[in-house]
Amino acid sequence: MDWTDKKILVIGGDQRLLFLADLIKDNFRSVQCYALQGAECLDGIEKATSLQKGMQEADIIVGPVPFTKDGMHLLTKDNTTILLADFIENLVENGALLGGNIPASVVEAAKLKNTICYDFMKMENVALENAISTAEGAIAEAITLSTQNVNQENCLILGYGRCAKAIAQRLKGLNAKITIAARKDMAQKDAIAQGYQAISLEDLKCDIPKEQFIFNTIPFTVLNEELIEKVSEDAIIIDIASSPGGTDFEACSRRGIKAKLSLGIPGRFSPKTSANILLHGMIASLE
């Protein structure tokens, strides 16, 4: 099947989708957009007059990353409100839908209409490349908040998944002193093999007072009030775990510790690079 001859609707999202729409028009015959902030600046892309009309005319729909933040609305940045229920109602037969972390309700509704779903966050190459963008952005945010260099400073990373590994690799290049805190023994051994210090989550009480930069990637409360009481007052905490993160931000505020829940980093720090990553994942999936 020649997907390049199909009509595409790019809907909602952040700057990533704005750049992606611009890239798509060079690879596909017809591109429309709806609820896409900044789309009026793009040449060669039509603006759908309504959600219903845009979706019914499209063979392929490209949605936001993430698809939703509250579980009720499609993620948009242009003050347009789109209920997931309305989106589901307007899904067409025999199409294709792409997005990030597509909700189960949307996936089930798509199946009933024989529409194929491709989730960007389940594409291995996209996930790996996104981890790099996330790592660079997380470190940039930490440096921006701090009055100190990363060079030779103690940096603690909680977790040892894709993003944590990418953060560690880049901090190593900045000559930081890196400690990985992980639950699994195998993860700790892997971290040590890469030249990092490694501890279990149970040992955080003893380790955390010396840490200047703390990066959390674990999606449950690990930096609780008890641990925050032991964190240095001039430390920086960057939490990139899914909302609400794994940090007691109220405890940080009471102690005057700079802590930030930093979500959607690729869309904020490197939207153009991220758009290229999504385009490659999109084309590979459709082919």
- CATH 3.40.50.720 range(s) for the chain read 3-122, 131-267
- Once rounded to an integer, what is the mean pLDDT over residues 257-286? 93
Q: Is the pLDDT of residue 91 over 80?
A: yes
| pLDDT score, position 3 | 66
Question: Which CATH number does 3-122 carry?
Answer: 3.40.50.720
Residues 6 or more apart whose Cβ sits within 8 Å of residue 65: 13, 14, 16, 17, 99, 100, 101, 120, 121, 267, 278
Provide the mean pLDDT of the chain.
94
Q: What is this structure's pTM?
A: 0.86
The separation between CA 210 and the C-alpha centre of its own chain, rounded to angstroms, equals 29
Q: How confident is the model at residue 1 (pLDDT cuts 50, 70, 90)?
A: low
Question: Which CATH number does 131-267 carry?
Answer: 3.40.50.720
